[in-house]
Amino acid sequence: MLMRKAVRVIFALVLLSLVCSLGIDAGGGDLARARTSETFVSPPEIVSSNGVLNATLTAGTAMVKIGTKDVLARVYDGLYVPPTLRVRPGDTIKLRLVNTLGTRTSLHYHGLEVSPRGRSDNVFVHLGTSEVFDYEITIPRNHGSGLFWYHSHQHGLSESQVGGGMSGGLIVDGILDPFPELKGIRERVMLLKDAEIDGSTIGQKNDPARSTRTLNGLINPTVKIRPGETQFWRIGNIGANAYYRLQLEGHTLYKIAQDGNRLNQIVGSQEIVLPPGSRVEVLVRGGAPGTYMFRSLAFNTGPEDQNPEVILATIIAEGPTQQPLPLPAKLPPVADLRKQPVAHKREIVFSEGPGKFFINGKQFDMDRVDTTVNLGDVEEWTIRNASDEMHTFHIHQLDFQVVEVDGRQVPFIGVQDNVNVPVGGVVKILVSFTDPVIVGKFVYHCHILSHEDKGMMAVIEVKPPR
């Protein structure tokens, strides 16, 4: 079994390398329809076996190919798109992280509702040069299924390391299990990364206006679908700072999950905004024969934060027409936190000054606990943006329910772990601290990593009852 898994991973890596060598140049805003020469390739995978996923990731610098350019990047295992880890609820991830970077690093399993202590998803563990750490992540049997991701979480270096390539996908399988009518449909994992290339190096900074956008490390790859065919796309923004405003020309994106959480209903959308760190899982029905652009539309997040329009992939609908599958009429229920009593209300204020970012007027200090919560409580948090640019609120170890944005009630469709906070805006959320597995210290922060690096992060501690 282990040999078959190793062969599959090696084959995928070789195939990915060959395909990338056919790349093209396409910076942000390149909208040429015909300039696609790469074929869609899924990221390589490491899959759990007998309830355990064993893996080693080596963090270091390596030359990688992005389009036609060979660039020096900060990556895992020498790959701009490292293996996606695929597990099921109840599995254990045993992952050895080896640091050969020459700087400190750490690792976060974004979105997993697991312990923040010890060798689990502990972002207070930092690896110095040449150090090794063995993570052991136990995924609860009742854990949600969907797309998650892993990435460096070294404060002060997260923009450089994630923007340099140190991020990968993580899938907890089972999200389509309640829908036998969708059994066997084609799954496509689409991981969005962007790199600001400075000569032959991915730079230390990550400016969305100047970065090259990639899908699975490819520039404008060709994705094929049959007319009428239903495909399942797992789309993740696993870069440092860029926003994506997704649109599939001539098609509706039927959202079935967000941030690794199945929704309580299917939501059809013409556009979906993905802030840094966010994921969405959608059903796509192939249109009439033809060519369609999968774009990220222009998106302005502040005076100096332009995200230009760019083509992410070219979709070709061809081949025999298939009978469209009916979309699931009913999804499993999701608990509505508005029905729970609120134990405490808090206000979280994002603000900034020249070169500095703050939460409630303070910059991050890993030795200071900013928020203390009692296990078992449901709290109402008001996230206030007191700046002239957008921020993205993310909290580790759990999800939350968005109930209001700028005073307007938000229809309840599910929970998430990441939310955009508009310029000068207010987002109200409900947070459930009821799962005993999350007892301990972890963090919440802006997931625009240049903001987090400059101070926009805080420590929270969940304490068990006395």
Same-domain check for residues 162 and 230: no
The 3-state DSSP class for residue 5 equals helix
- What is the distance between the alpha carbons of residues 407 and 348, in angstroms, rounded to a whole number? 16
pLDDT tens, position by position, 223-237: 999 999 999 999 999
Strands annotated E in 199-241: 201-202, 212-215, 222-225, 230-237
Asked whether residue 34 is domain-assigned, the answer is yes
Last residue of a domain, one of 123, 152, 172: 172
**Considering the domain boundaries, does residue 325 fall inside one?**
no
Query: What does the pLDDT read at residue 345?
Result: 99
pLDDT band per the 50, 70, 90 thresholds, residue 36: low
Regarding whether 154 and 28 lie in a shared domain, the answer is yes
Q: Does residue 23 fall inside a structural domain?
A: yes
Q: Are residues 304 and 374 in the same domain?
A: no
Could you tell me which residues come within 8 angstroms of residue 175 by beta carbon, excluding any fewer than 6 positions away? 145, 146, 256, 257, 262, 281
Q: How far apart are CA 382 and CA 458, in angstroms?
A: 15
* Together in a domain, 145 and 206: no
Place of tokens 């395909």: 19
- What is the residue-averaged pLDDT of the chain? 93
CB-CB contact of 114 with 120 (8 Å): yes
What are the C-alpha distances in Å from 422 to residues 147, 383, 419? 25, 10, 10
Residue 3 has pLDDT above 90, yes or no: no
Q: Which candidate, 419, 416, 414, 413, places its Cα nearest to that of 447?
A: 419
The two structure tokens encoding residue 372: 């203390």
- At residue 28, does pLDDT exceed 80? no
Indicate whether 254 and 367 sit together in one domain: no
Shared-domain flag, residues 191 and 95: no
Phi, psi dihedrals of residue 385, rounded to the nearest 5° = -100, 105
For 59-75, what is the HEC assignment? EEEEEEEECCEEEEEEE
Q: What is the pLDDT of residue 2?
A: 37
Q: Is residue 136 part of a domain?
A: yes
- What separation in angstroms does the CA of 8 have from each of 5, 12, 42, 215, 355? 5, 6, 12, 21, 46
Above pLDDT 90, what percent of the chain? 88
Mean pLDDT throughout 64-82? 96
Q: Do residues 166 and 185 both lie within one domain?
A: no
For residue 385 the two structure tokens come to 């943006």
User: Quick check: is 326 in a domain?
Assistant: no
The residue out of 148, 172, 196 marking a domain boundary is 172
CA distances from 232 to 5, 92, 147, 264, 327 (A): 23, 26, 12, 17, 12
In single-letter form, the type of residue at position 330 comes to: K
Task: Evaluate whether 386 touches 342 at the Cβ level (below 8 Å).
Answer: no
Q: What's the confidence (pLDDT) of residue 105?
A: 99
Asked if 466 and 439 count as a contact pair (C-beta separation under 8 A), the reply is: no
Structural domain of residue 302, as residue ranges? 180-317
Give the model's pLDDT for residue 37: 60
- What percent of the chain is modeled with pLDDT above 70? 92
Residue 456 CA to its chain's centroid (Å): 19
Tally of domains in the chain: 3
pLDDT in tens, 288-310: 999 999 999 999 998 877 899 99
In a shared domain, residues 133 and 8: yes
Residue 330 lies in a domain: no
What's the token pair of residue 9?
A: 């991973």
Tokens representing 209 are 């206006």
Pairing relationship of beta strands 146-151 and 167-172 according to DSSP bridges:
antiparallel
Q: Which amino acid is at 312?
A: L
Evaluate whether 31 touches 74 at the Cβ level (below 8 Å): no
Examine the domain organization and report whether 383 and 454 are in the same domain.
yes
Domain assignment of residue 406, yes or no: yes
Q: Residue 205's pLDDT band (boundaries 50, 70, 90)?
A: confident
Please identify, among 125, 156, 172, the residue that sits at the C-terminal boundary of a domain.
172
Q: Residue 14: helix, strand or coil by DSSP? A: helix
Whether 145 and 19 share a structural domain: yes
| 98 φψ region: left (φ > 0), alpha (ψ -120 to 50), beta (else) | beta
DSSP assignment letter at 148: E
Residue located via tokens 């508005």: 338
- Is residue 327 in some structural domain? no
Please indicate, yes or no, whether residues 305 and 350 belong to a single structural domain of this protein.
Answer: no
SS3 432: strand
- Tokens encoding 314: 């070219």
Residues 192 and 159 in one domain: no
d(CA 83, CA 38): 19
Nearest to 327 by CA among 231, 222, 403, 463: 231
- Spatial distance between the Cα atoms of 184 and 322, rounded to a whole number of angstroms: 14
Find the CATH number of the domain harbouring 244: 2.60.40.420
